[in-house]
C-alpha cells in the first residue's frame, strides 16, 4: 500500500518535479503491485495522483493495472442523497 496524504489545498509544482513524482509513483506501484490510497479529493497532492493515473492509462497492461482508492469523508460526497434514496447506502441514526 502506498498512502499519499497531504493537505487538501491548491499548490503548484514545477513541471520537472511534477513529472518525477508522477513517473515515480506509477513505477513504484507497477513494480511492486502496491495499491495507492489517497483522501479522494481533486485538489493538492491527491489531484497529482489522479493526473498521474490518467496520463499513464494507456501504458497499463492487464497484468500491471494499478488499484487506486480515494477515501473521502461522507460529508464530502456529492449527491449522497441519491445513494441513500436508492438504497445503495444504509444510514444509521444513533
- What digits encode the pLDDT tens for the residues 51-76? 998 888 776 666 668 899 998 888 88
**pLDDT value at position 9?**
79
Q: What angle do CA 2, 53, 30 make, to 5 degrees?
A: 55
Task: Supply the pTM of this predicted model.
Answer: 0.73
Amino acid at each position: 500500500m502506498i498512502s499519499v496524504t497531504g493537505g487538501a489545498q491548491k499548490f503548484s509544482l514545477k513541471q520537472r518535479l511534477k513529472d518525477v513524482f508522477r513517473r515515480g509513483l506509477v513505477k513504484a506501484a507497477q513494480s511492486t503491485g502496491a495499491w495507492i490510497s489517497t483522501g479522494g479529493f481533486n485538489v493538492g497532492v491527491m489531484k497529482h495522483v489522479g493526473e498521474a493515473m490518467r496520463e499513464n492509462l494507456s501504458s497499463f497492461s492487464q497484468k500491471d493495472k494499478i488499484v487506486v482508492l480515494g477515501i473521502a469523508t461522507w460529508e464530502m460526497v456529492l449527491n449522497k442523497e441519491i445513494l441513500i434514496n436508492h438504497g445503495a447506502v444504509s444510514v444509521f441514526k444513533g
